[in-house]
Amino acid sequence: MKLTGAQALIKSLELEGTEVVFGLPGGAILPVYDPLIDSSIRHILVRHEQGAGHMAEGYAHATGRPGVAMVTSGPAATNIVTPLCDAYMDSIPLVVITGQVPYSVIGTDAFQECDTVGITMPVTKHNWLITDPADIPEIVREAFHVATTGRPGPVLIDIPKDIAIDSMDWYWPESVDLPGYKPTNKVSTKLIKDAARLMGTAKKPVIYAGGGILKARAAEALRELAEMTGIPVVTTLMARGAFPDRHDLCLGMPGMHGNYTAITALQEADLLIALGSRFDDRVTGKVAAFAPNAKIIHVDIDPAEIGKVRRPDVPIVGDCRRVIEELVKAVRSDLEKRHWPDLIPWWSEIRTWQRDFPLYYEQEEDGPLKPQFVIEKLRDLSPDDTIVASGVGQHQMWASQHWKFDYPYTWVNSGGLGTMGFSVPAAIGAKVGRPERTVWSIDGDGCFQMTAQELVTASAEQIPIKVAILNNAYLGMVRQWQEMFYEERYSEVYLSPDLPDYVKWAEAMGCVAFRVDAPEDVAPTIEKANAITDRPVVIDFRTDFREKVFPMVPAGASNSDVLPGPTPNGAK
Amino acid sequence: MEQHHHILSVLVENKAGVLSRVAGLFTRRGYNIFSLAVSPTEDNRYSRMTVVVDGDSSPIEQVTKQLNKLIPVIEIRELAASDAVERELLLATVKAGPEERSHLIDLVSIFDGQVIDVGVASVTVMVAGTPDGLDAVSDLLAPYGISELQRTGRVALPRLIRGSRPLKAVKSSEQ
C-alpha cells in the first residue's frame, strides 16, 4: 500500500493509540494536516504553540499517556521549546511533531527554517529529523517507545515538507530496535535486602517520595510499604498526591516552601528512603548541610540520578513500583525474623513539630482576602478527585501546601523548570484527558497573562475548565524576595489589580467570569463556578498582596535555618 | 599522562548529529573535553569516539552515566591509562634552512617520525606516538621555531589480554 509521508505519520500516530493532538498548522506542516481530516484523532487548535505543548503536558500528567503536539517549522518550533524543556525537567512523556522546510532546501535559510533538531537537542530525551518517508513508521514507534519507557521524557520528530508529500510503501514495525537504549528492568535482590536491613535498623527513617512514584504508578505500593513499616512519608512538589495528605503517616511537602515538619524530619532523619526523587536543590537547600546524619537508600530508574547530588549507601536502579514491591516482600520477611526499632520516640518528635508549626494564616472577617483561604474553600467545595493545575510562584506554593492531595494524578504543575503560564493550558490538557473530572487552574495574575489566550481554545473546543486567579497585582514571589532579601526595594514587580480587567477579558474569550473581593463572597462564587459545566469559568480573586509564603528556606541556606513564618501560638 | 584525565572510548551509532549530541551534552553539563577523536569503525553502522575528559572539572561517573543516556551511544568503556594503548598524530611545520634540516631529520627519526613536506626555509614533520611522547617532540622542536602545529587528539583501545599470569609481567615491562 502506497501512502504519502503525511498519511503514514497520521496512521502511525493512530496505531500508537493517539486520541488527541494539540496543535496549530502552518506552511511546512500543511501536508500532515490534510490526512488529519480523515483521521479518528481529535485535534485541538491552540492559539499559541506554547499552549499546545503545555496542554500535551497536562494531558500526560493527568492520564499517564504521552501527550502529542504538532506545530509547523521555525517560530512554531521555537515556541514549543519551553514546554519541551519543562517536560524534560519533570520527566513528562511528550511526542512533539514539527514541520520543517523541504529537505532539499535545508541549510539555505529558507522561509520559516530553523534548526529545530539542534535547538531541541538539549531539551529532549531524543529527537529525529526524518530524511526518508520510508522511515516514518519506525521513527514514530521509536519516539513513543523512548518517550514512555525508562525515565519518561519529551521527544521530537522534525518532518520536512517534501518528506511528508513523498510516498512510501506502508508497513508497521513489530518492535523497536534501538541498540543504545535499554532501560534497566532488573532489580538487584542483594540491594533490596540491604535496603530492608537498613530500614530495619533506623530509628528516624523518612520516606522521601518523588515524582518517580507517579511515573511508575507506584502509589499503592508506596502506601503498602509505609503502612507496613510505620515510616513517615514526605511527598515532593512533583509527588503531591502520590501518598494521601490526609494519611496519618504523611508529613506533606518538604523543600524551600515545604511545611516545617516535612523539612525538619528530613533534616533530623537517620535514614532517607528516596523513592523516585532526585535531591533537587529546592528540596535539599544547602546540599552540604542536608540531612547530615542520614544514610541514604536511593531508588531511581535513571542511573545518572544515583549519586548525582548525594552518594547513597544503597543505590537501586529500577522502576519504582517494581522496586517497592520487592522491598515490601523483603521487609515482610525481615520483620518476621527481627525486631525493628520502635519508632514511637521519632513519631513523638514529629507530632511536636506538627503541633507547634502547622501551616498557618489568618483570614480576618472583613480583612483583605487571603490566598490560602481561597484555596481551602476551593478544595472544600470541589469534588475530592478534582485535578488542580497551577502556574509558578506564590500561588503554586500555597496550592501545593493547602490543597489536601489525597489522590495521585490530581496535581499538575511545573516543578523543575518553573514555567510561568503553565497553568491554563495544562489545565485544558488535563481536562481533555479526564473530561469527567473537575479541573481547576489555580493561577497567579502574572502567570495568567502569559497564556490566557488559550481560554479561547477552551471555549471553542468546549473544554470547561475553571480558573481561579489569585490576583494580588504583583509578581508575588519576586516581590516576596525583594521584601525579604533586597531591603524592600521593589523593582519592576507591580502589575495592577485591574489592568487588564480580568472579568471582561475572560468574557471576551467566551468564559463566564466573576470577581471576588470579600471573604464572604468566596464560597458562593466557587459554588456558582462549580455548577457551570458547559464552558470555562474564570474567577478574579483580589487577594492580599502583603501575604508571603511560609515556611521558607532562604536560597542557599541550610534546611535547619528554615523560617517558619507566623505560628498559631507564637512558637519559634 | 596527565593525572586527572580519563579516556572514554565511546561506541556510537554512525548517524548524522551524533557528535553534536555528545558535544552538546558536555557543554550543557559543564564538562570539559580535553581531546576528542572520531572515526568510523570496522562496522560501518558504528563510529568510535575517543574522548579525553578532565576529571577535575567533570565527575567521570556522571559523565559516563549522562553519555549513556544518549540514545545513539551504544557502549562506553573507560580506559585507565595503564589498561589502554593510545596514540596520537602530530604534524608540525618547523623553520629549518638547509643547514638545520639534517639535524631535524635525525631528531624526528628518533621518534620514528618523517619529514612529509619541504620548503625553502621550513619543513613539515609527522610523528605518531603517545601523548607524552608527542609533548617531548614538540618541546624538542620548539628551539627550531614552530610556525604551525596540529595534533589529532588521541585514539585508544583496551590492551589485549594475553593470558592470566604472564600478562602482568608483559604490562609492567612495557610501562
Eight-state DSSP code of residue A552: B
User: What percentage of residues in chain A have a pLDDT greater than 90?
Assistant: 98
Read off the pLDDT of residues A200-247 as tens digits, 9 standing for 90 and up: 999 999 999 999 999 999 999 999 999 999 999 999 999 999 999 999
Instruction: Kindly state the average pLDDT of the residues A499-507.
Output: 98
Read off the pLDDT of residues A361-384 as tens digits, 9 standing for 90 and up: 999 999 999 999 999 999 999 999
Q: Are A497 and A473 in contact (CB under 8 A)?
A: yes
Compute the nearest-CA separation of A89 from chain B (Å). 14
Is A570 in CB contact (< 8 Å) with chain B?
no
Q: Is the pLDDT of residue B167 over 50?
A: no
Chain B: residue whose CA lies nearest to A150: B69
User: What percentage of residues in chain A have a pLDDT greater than 70?
Assistant: 100
Residues present in chain B in total: 175
CB contact under 8 A, B71 and A180: yes
CB contact under 8 A, A117 and B17: yes
- For the question of residue A11 being annotated catalytic, the response is no
- Each domain of chain B, given as residue ranges in start order, spans 5-79, 85-155
User: Does domain B5-79 match CATH 3.30.428.10?
Assistant: no
Read off the pLDDT of residues B130-153 as tens digits, 9 standing for 90 and up: 988 999 999 999 999 999 999 998
Q: Is the pLDDT of residue A299 over 70?
A: yes
Closest-CA residue to A48 (of A79, A5, A72): A79
Q: For residue B162, what pLDDT band results from cuts at 50, 70 and 90? A: low
Q: Which three cell numbers stand for residue A141?
A: 514507534
Residue-level pLDDT at B175: 31
Instruction: Kindly state the average pLDDT of the residues A31-39.
Output: 98
Q: Is A61 exposed, middle or buried (0-12, 13-18, 19+ CB in 10 A)?
A: buried
Residue-level pLDDT at B155: 87
Residue-level pLDDT at A292: 97
Burial A440-467 (b: 16+ CB within 10 A, else e): bbbbbbbbbbbbbbbbbbbbebebbbbb
User: Does domain B85-155 match CATH 3.30.70.1150?
Assistant: yes
Read off the pLDDT of residues B76-103 as tens digits, 9 standing for 90 and up: 998 887 788 889 999 999 999 888 899 9
Q: Is the pLDDT of residue B20 over 80?
A: yes
Residue-level pLDDT at A472: 98
Q: Across the interface, which of A117, A122, A126 has its CB nearest the CB of B71? A: A126
Q: What angle do CA A140, A142, A146 make, to 5 degrees?
A: 120
Q: Is the pLDDT of residue B168 over 50?
A: no
**CATH topology of B5-79 equal to that of B85-155?**
yes
End-to-end Cα, chain B, rounded Å: 12
Read off the pLDDT of residues A136-170 as tens digits, 9 standing for 90 and up: 999 999 999 999 999 999 999 999 999 999 999 99
- For the question of residue A112 being annotated catalytic, the response is yes
β strands within A103-194, DSSP E: 126-129, 154-160, 167-169
Q: All domains of chain A, ordered by start, with CATH?
A: 2-169 (3.40.50.970), 189-356 (3.40.50.1220), 371-556 (3.40.50.970)
Read off the pLDDT of residues A519-540 as tens digits, 9 standing for 90 and up: 999 999 999 999 999 999 999 9
